[in-house]
Amino acid sequence: MDGSVDLVERLRATCGAQHVLTDHNQLRTYESDGLLQYRELPAVAVLPGSGAEVAEVVRACHAAGVPWVARGSGSGLSGGALPVADGVLVILSRLRRIVEIDLDNQRVVCEPGVTNLAISAAVGPSHFFPPDPSSQVVCSIGGNVAENSGGAHCFKYGFTTNYVCGLEVVLADGSVVQLGGKELDRPGYDLHGVFVGSEGTLGIATAITVRVVPAPESVRTLVAFFETPGRAGRAVSEIVAAGVVPGAIEMMDRLTIDASEQMAHAGWPEDAGAALLVELDGPERECDARFAEVCKLCEDAGATGVVVARDGAQRDVFWKMRKAAFPAMGRISPHYYVQDSVIPRTRLPEVLDRIDALSREYGLPVGNVFHAGDGNLHPLVCYDGHTPGEAERAEELAGQIVLACVEAGGSITGEHGVGIDKKRYMPKMFAEPDLAAFQKLRCAFDPDGLANPGKVMPTPRLCGEVPGPYRQHPLEAAGLAERF
Ligand SMILES: Cc1cc2nc3c(=O)[nH]c(=O)nc-3n(C[C@H](O)[C@H](O)[C@H](O)COP(=O)(O)OP(=O)(O)OC[C@H]3O[C@@H](n4cnc5c(N)ncnc54)[C@H](O)[C@@H]3O)c2cc1C
């Protein structure tokens, strides 16, 4: 890092020496995010205490020409918050204030380090913040915005992007801009919409205005067991085709049930090949009527058993089973690789068969737990990293699963983002002109390429670089537009 001494001094003067880390052992805490397969040490990690300090840190990096990476809670699963060697890691965990709660207008303004669950806790029990990643106890709203995170209730309620109205953003030159506001739809370009899901490549969100919604009057939850995930998949299609919009509809296969049992002890049947967790919420009478319909649809689709949560405590156990699925996998496999892809819901049975065939071909178990309503799969590829070559085989298998999902008309990521892990697959989904358009957008926010470089785009380009030979556009020829 050129000019590092000056930069470090400037960061210390801005944030206080105790909030600027350069010691190797302290930096190791931040060498990866939730995707442990990638590791890198930053030159410096800094923990600003306010939006103004974030802006000053970014200004200092800009002046020194040093790249930086924003980090929320570091729970990301695509390597988005992986530090850049020789760069600065800007950790936002000290920015934890909920600045304003306006329940009459259903708005909350908060700093980026506030955890997802803390927002619902602050507005409950009358209201809640619907996007609910399974990591919601730890993940930050800044990270949710950057990844456009989803969760179990997104089938009915939508993703983070559907709840963010306004953002205060520090751009890569340290200037501060306001994108959107408290209104649902401001005039002009939807720039906060552009920022949501930009994975830390367009700037740092330092204040976030979100919409919260009234809590439903009633919630009913059941778990239905099936012989195979394919049969459970058919039940999902039947439920959706009947016009029911469940608050959540989640599936777990045998391997993930086995893993979660070790943490949640729900006592689910040992012979079930798949469990379908269905939750309806809304007005009590509607909920009750449709719930009976869902139970019948599951039975007609071949459920071997249906258990209805008798009270809040049993509902919590059902959800613990689902939300424990990722961490619990560590109890049955020394290592695992989390995949995140999307397929059209109707292709579930055939893609699950393909995953099963790949699992056998590579000789590695794959657990499946997913947001069934959205067709958002989370295959968990189990391996033992101590066995030579097994980590590489797991990564290759995970890649084959991504490709199978794309071939089925799906997407390389549903909610975990592209980060460093999936950028090689971007050309499978986007043609060169699309990628060039993305790069231009990125350059408009960050012409020097200092914000989270090396992420999302498969082949980073500098601003102004256009792929292919120059061809004059007819609008240019007519003098109506010019290149910039
Ligand atoms: C057990 C487990 C379960 C999970 N379940 C889900 C799930 O159900 N749904 C889901 O969507 N995800 C899930 N995730 C993934 C992860 O929790 C989400 O992506 C989350 O939004 C990341 O938040 P974070 O604060 O940890 O962000 P980080 O990992 O710190 O960062 C993620 C990205 O956001 C950027 N960033 C962070 N803060 C800011 C900011 N203020 N401004 C600009 N950029 C910023 C970073 O540069 C990085 O690119 C899960 C992860 C784990 C470990």
- At 138 the three-state DSSP class reads coil
pLDDT of residue 49: 98
Q: Ligand 1 mean position to 126 CA, how many Å?
A: 26
pLDDT of residue 482: 62
The token pair that represents 3 in the structure block: 């000019």
Does the beta carbon of 351 lie inside 6 Å of ligand 1?
no
Name the residue of 147, 170, 201 to mutate for ligand 1: max ligand atoms within 8 A of Cβ.
147
pLDDT of residue 396: 94
Does the beta carbon of 133 lie inside 6 Å of ligand 1?
yes
Whole-number average pLDDT of the chain: 93
The Cα 382–Cα 375 span in angstroms is 21
Q: Ligand 1 mean position to 81 CA, how many Å?
A: 8
Does the beta carbon of 341 lie inside 6 Å of ligand 1?
no
Q: 271-296 burial string, b = 16+ CB within 10 Å, else e?
A: ebbbbbbbbbbbeeeebeebbeebbe
Backbone angles phi, psi at 92, to 5 degrees: -100, 15
> How do residues 236-288 score in pLDDT, each as one tens digit?
989 999 999 999 999 999 999 999 999 999 999 999 999 999 999 999 999 99
Kindly report whether the global pTM for this prediction surpasses the value 0.85: yes
Name the residue of 57, 134, 442 to mutate for ligand 1: max ligand atoms within 8 A of Cβ.
134
Protein residue closest via CA to atom 2 of ligand 1:
135
Residue 76 contacts residue 419 (beta carbons within 8 Å): yes
The answer to which of 105-119, 123-137, 466-480 has the lowest mean pLDDT is 466-480
How remote is the C-alpha of 394 from its chain's centroid?
21
Backbone angles phi, psi at 473, to 5 degrees: -80, 145
- At 351 the three-state DSSP class reads helix
pLDDT of residue 335: 93
Does the beta carbon of 131 lie inside 6 Å of ligand 1?
no
Q: Is the pLDDT of residue 480 over 90?
A: no
- At 379 the three-state DSSP class reads strand
Name the residue of 95, 149, 196, 450 to mutate for ligand 1: max ligand atoms within 8 A of Cβ.
149
State which ligand 1 atom lies nearest to the alpha carbon of 77: 15
Mean pLDDT of 61-85: 97
Give the C-alpha distances (Å, rounded to integers) separating 364 from 333, 334, 338, 382, 398. Answer: 10, 12, 13, 6, 10
Please report which confidence band the pLDDT of residue 225 belongs to, taking 50, 70 and 90 as the band edges.
Answer: very high
pLDDT of residue 474: 64
Protein residue closest via CA to atom 23 of ligand 1:
143
Does the beta carbon of 199 lie inside 6 Å of ligand 1?
yes
pLDDT of residue 346: 84
State which ligand 1 atom lies nearest to the alpha carbon of 169: 42
Q: Is the pLDDT of residue 164 over 70?
A: yes
Q: Ligand 1 mean position to 150 CA, how many Å?
A: 10
pLDDT of residue 265: 95
> How do residues 387-421 score in pLDDT, each as one tens digit?
999 999 999 999 999 999 999 999 999 899 999 99
Positive or negative, the CA dihedral 299, 301, 306, 312 is negative
Smallest CA-to-CA distance from 302 within 346, 236, 367 is with 236
Please report which confidence band the pLDDT of residue 43 belongs to, taking 50, 70 and 90 as the band edges.
Answer: very high
Please report which confidence band the pLDDT of residue 131 belongs to, taking 50, 70 and 90 as the band edges.
Answer: very high
Peptide bond into 467 cis (omega under 30): no
Does the beta carbon of 247 lie inside 6 Å of ligand 1?
no
> How do residues 318-327 score in pLDDT, each as one tens digit?
999 999 998 8
Half-sphere exposure of 68 (CA within 13 A, CB side): 35
Please report which confidence band the pLDDT of residue 187 belongs to, taking 50, 70 and 90 as the band edges.
Answer: confident
> How do residues 133-145 score in pLDDT, each as one tens digit?
989 999 999 999 9
pLDDT of residue 459: 82
Percent of the chain with pLDDT over 90: 85
Give the C-alpha distances (Å, rounded to integers) separating 435 from 341, 419, 432, 438. Answer: 20, 15, 5, 5
State which ligand 1 atom lies nearest to the alpha carbon of 160: 11
**Strand 176-180's sheet: what is its strand order?**
98-102, 107-110, 204-211, 164-170, 176-180
pLDDT of residue 468: 61
pLDDT of residue 443: 94
Does the beta carbon of 89 lie inside 6 Å of ligand 1?
no
Please report which confidence band the pLDDT of residue 1 belongs to, taking 50, 70 and 90 as the band edges.
Answer: low
Q: Ligand 1 mean position to 162 CA, how many Å?
A: 17
pLDDT of residue 469: 60
Does the beta carbon of 378 lie inside 6 Å of ligand 1?
no
pLDDT of residue 186: 84
- At 452 the three-state DSSP class reads coil
pLDDT of residue 230: 85
The Cα 402–Cα 377 span in angstroms is 10
Please report which confidence band the pLDDT of residue 70 belongs to, taking 50, 70 and 90 as the band edges.
Answer: very high
Name the residue of 54, 71, 88 to mutate for ligand 1: max ligand atoms within 8 A of Cβ.
71
> How do residues 375-390 score in pLDDT, each as one tens digit?
999 999 999 999 999 9
Please report which confidence band the pLDDT of residue 466 belongs to, taking 50, 70 and 90 as the band edges.
Answer: low
pLDDT of residue 417: 95
Q: Ligand 1 mean position to 321 CA, how many Å?
A: 21
Does the beta carbon of 135 lie inside 6 Å of ligand 1?
yes
Percent of the chain with pLDDT over 70: 94
> How do residues 94-111 score in pLDDT, each as one tens digit?
999 999 999 999 999 999
Q: Ligand 1 mean position to 215 CA, how many Å?
A: 25
Protein residue closest via CA to atom 39 of ligand 1:
142
Does the beta carbon of 69 lie inside 6 Å of ligand 1?
yes
156-162 long-range CB contacts below 8 Å, 24 or more apart?
Answer: 156/245, 156/246, 156/247, 156/248, 156/281, 156/373, 157/130, 157/131, 157/213, 157/247, 158/130, 158/131, 159/131, 159/415, 160/131, 160/196, 161/193, 161/196, 161/197, 162/131
